[in-house]
Each structure stands twice: as C-alpha cells, then as structure tokens.
Amino acid sequence: SLAVACREKIFDFNIKKLPIKTRHQHPRPLPHPPSSAKIMLHSVRYTATKLAVPATAVSLALYASSSNEVLAKEAPAVDLEKVRDTIVSVMEEDAEKRGDGTSLAGTFIRLAWHCSGTYSKADGTGGSNGARMRFDPEAKWGANAGLGVARSALEPVKAKHPDMSYADLYTYAGVVAVEESGGPKIPFGLGREDMSSGETSPPDGRLPDADKGSRPSTVQHIRDIFYRMGFTDREIVALSGAHAMGRCHTDRSGYWGPWTFAENTFSNEYFRLLVEERWSPKATHNGKPWTGPDQFEDSTGKLMMLPSDIALILDPEFKKYVEMYAKNEDLFFTDFAKAFSKLLALGVPFAATKAWYQFW
C-alpha cells in the first residue's frame, strides 16, 4: 500500500464472516521463492482428504547452493498451520463483533507491508527483522497510524504461540490475510528475530507517500522508494495491487473511501477499475465541499484512487503492467506472490543462512 494509513472493510453487502473465498478455490501454480533464498522445504498438504503434514513432523533437508551439501535440519518449533488457524479465528471473531462488514484483513496486509517497507539495499538497514514497530519511534510514525489496532489484535495469537517471534507473526498475518481473502499462496520464511527496543529503527520517511504535489514528482517518489528496496517497475505495480483490499480513513490518513466494491476480496479489480473507470478530482463529500487532501473518485463517488494510484496509469512504463494485470488475474496473482514474498524477506538473515519453508 502506498503510504496510506488505511485499511479496513466497510460495505454491508460484502461477506461478513472470514475467511472470504469468493474465487479461485482451485489450487494455483506454486510461485517461486525470492532468488536470494538458498534452500527450500517442500511438505505435502492433501486437501482432498483434509490430511496435512505439519511443519513439526516434516524431515527437513538443507541444500547448500554453493556445494550441494545436504545437511539434516530439525524442523522449527512453530506450526504455521496452527498459527494460521488462530489468526483466522481472531479475524472472524473481530468481524462478528463489529457486525458492519469490516475486517482486519486489509489492516494485517498493511502491517506486514509497513514492517518490511523500510528496507534499504544500500546499507542493509530496515526491513521486517526486529518488529521495531512495537516501540517508538516507528510506533508513532504518521505512516503507521492505525496499525496499533493490528498489533493489539495479534497479541492473543502471540500468547498462544509464544515460540513465534513478533516479527514473523506480523508478516505472516499479512500472508494469511491475502490467502484467506481469495489471493495467491505466498512463500513465507520463518526466522525473523525481535529487537528489545526501537534504537535500531531506520529514519522516518522510508515508507511511500500518496502524493508529492505533481504527477512527475509522485511518479519519481514511487520509483525512489521501491528502487531503494530493489524492486522493478513490474514489481512496483504488482505490489500496488494490494489496494484491492481495504479502504482509507479520514481520521488516519485524511483520505476517504475504498478502492473497489469488493474490498474484502483479493483480486485484480483494482487494476480493472484503474483502466476502465473515469477518475476525476474529488470535490464533494456527503453533500459538502471536500476539504481533505487531493484524491480521485469514480463516476458514482463511492470509490477512490490516490494520486499515487493515478500515477500508475499516467506513466507509460507503469501503465503497461496495469493493463496487463487488468486483463490477466492469474498473472497478477503469480507476480504479486513473488513480489510480496520478496518484500517480507528484505533485511532478514534467513535469506542467506536459513531454510525457506513452504507449507503446502
């Protein structure tokens, strides 16, 4: 998500009980892990018979890419399937308490994104390792407004699964939110460690802003932010597709509204709307002049786009990928899974030294 303190659900006509699986029930092709991963675990999940092989029961093999040496490795103490079940239960219980069609899914995706999106490949600082958002200064950054809701919601999960670090939990919650909302399977690695303070937090300003005052400035800002982490234009657009989930809140970012009519469902709808709708500057809200920051609305006035979203269809290089994903959801899902997995792994030691686990 591009720098917006947004993400919850609102429409009453959306399914109110999670997990939301409105499309793509069939298994999807397994995406590859980030190229930086040196090793991989394959376990088998027999969905037809409801038989799963838990991580704690799997014999792991560690493949050293440089020498092809095979070493025995003990399975991690964390059973990701059990953690998933607990996260889903938290999401379902929260949705039932709200009773208004909203959910935590988009907020969890944003939490995972903002924990990871501070990385700089220049000096290796930032990233999801450490879970420093629990402390100042990151907890008080404007870009992280509203994420205390997500962190608090995950405390019961941490209490039930104490062997899982906060850093792994915060990122895995985003993975679960994508997958349980109808999105693709996301390769995920365990091994992040928790810091005891925010002393090693990177400087504020590394997360993207929604608007830099002009189209050229906003486009350049987007590239500066993502290139700093090592992403390509194609990956930038793929990651932006997470705006299919959730909405903006005036009390957090100043912006208002959802990007799609199905904001509880992970899909390529964001791209289709960018291409097919006519977007104009928002002038009114609830019959009164709009006094918030510049944003765009569709012909119904019920959907919104940020200046950073519109920048994706005004820049020729970005636009070609927007159009590509608007036409091909399977391709979007494949590219998003790779890019999101890469994002969550930035700055984490396991990328070079620990096993990359895939539990399906």
Which of these, 94, 89, 96, 115, lies nearest to 172 by C-alpha position? 115
Active site residue 221: no
Instruction: Give the Å distances, CA to CA, from 311 to 19, 176, 281.
Output: 32, 29, 13
CA distance 307 to 215: 8
As beta bridge partners, residue 45 has 52
Burial class (CB in 10 A: 0-12, 13-18, 19+), 36: middle
146: part of which helix (H) or strand (E)? none
CB atoms within 10 A of CB 67: 7
Sign of CA dihedral 107, 111, 112, 114: positive
- Residue 105's SS3 state is helix
Please say whether the beta carbons of 336 and 175 come within 8 A. Answer: no
CA distance 228 to 122: 7
62: part of which helix (H) or strand (E)? strand 60-63
Amino acid letter, residue 264? N
- Residue 289's SS3 state is strand
Active site residue 114: yes
CA distance 312 to 309: 5
Which of these, 250, 248, 247, 275, lies nearest to 261 by C-alpha position? 247
Instruction: Give the Å distances, CA to CA, from 260 to 16, 97, 268, 272, 324.
Output: 16, 24, 10, 10, 18
Candidate list 256, 259, 279, 356, residue with the active-site label: 259
- Residues acting as catalytic residues: 114, 259
